Amino acid sequence: MLITKKIKCNIFDIHGNLIDFKNINLTILSKTGNYLIFENYLRYLKLKKNYISSTKTRKEIKGGGRKPWKQKGLGKARAGSIRSPLWRGGGIIFGPKPKKISLKINKKEKKLALQILFYNRKDNIIIVKDIENYFNNIKTKNCLKLLKNFNINLNKKILIIVSKNLINLKLSVKNLKNITSISFLNINILNLLKYKQIIMSLSSLNLLNNI
């Protein structure tokens, strides 16, 4: 059964000062929705995996155009080609080939799983106003200063979510080991599960109900 939960989100400025708050409504399940998160997690792992293993069939093996010996009279079993899968160095029967996996993820299930996960991780999310304007220049020290203002441990995996792709932000965190930036439109289950601390811009929070 679906229920709506109202949560209060504190909004900070880039200096770490509390300036406002905002109530948002999240749709979650009345019982635990962990199974829904787990299903979506497995689907993303399946899509992320590269199936590039390849073996040669008998038609791809070099040589073997001539019959190894005559059909009768030698007391041997019949053989038509050295490329036969029965021979050492021959082709492989039903071996792996490169392939692409396409799994459909139900839009309503994806939206519900993301909202449940946001609700579960609400204590690990910091909302910062005007974070997009803060990264007008490509400076790693600006990012470090922002994290220092919120007393965030740099040894934890940190995710910065903004409303749109920002090249300056992406390049500013490029040399930082545990920090990643992403656009809200590209967010998925893996991102929210992998990172221990999440920083969201206020504009990306406004998009939360529209995912």
1-5, 171-175, 180-184, 206-210: least confident range: 206-210
Question: Could you report the per-residue pLDDT of 90-108, keeping only the tens digit for each?
Answer: 999 999 999 888 777 788 8
Total domains, the chain: 2
pLDDT value of residue 97: 92
Evaluate if residue 80 carries a pLDDT over 70.
yes
Range of the domain at 87: 50-100
Q: Are residues 21 and 89 in the same domain?
A: no
Question: Which residue is it, tokens 């749109």?
Answer: 164
Q: Are residues 66 and 161 in the same domain?
A: no
pLDDT value of residue 209: 65
Q: Are residues 152 and 111 in the same domain?
A: yes
SS3 call for 193: helix
Q: Are residues 70 and 30 in the same domain?
A: no
Is the separation of the CB atoms in 169 and 160 below 8 Å?
Answer: yes
DSSP state of 178: T
pLDDT bracket for residue 211 (50, 70, 90): low
* pTM flag (> 0.85): no
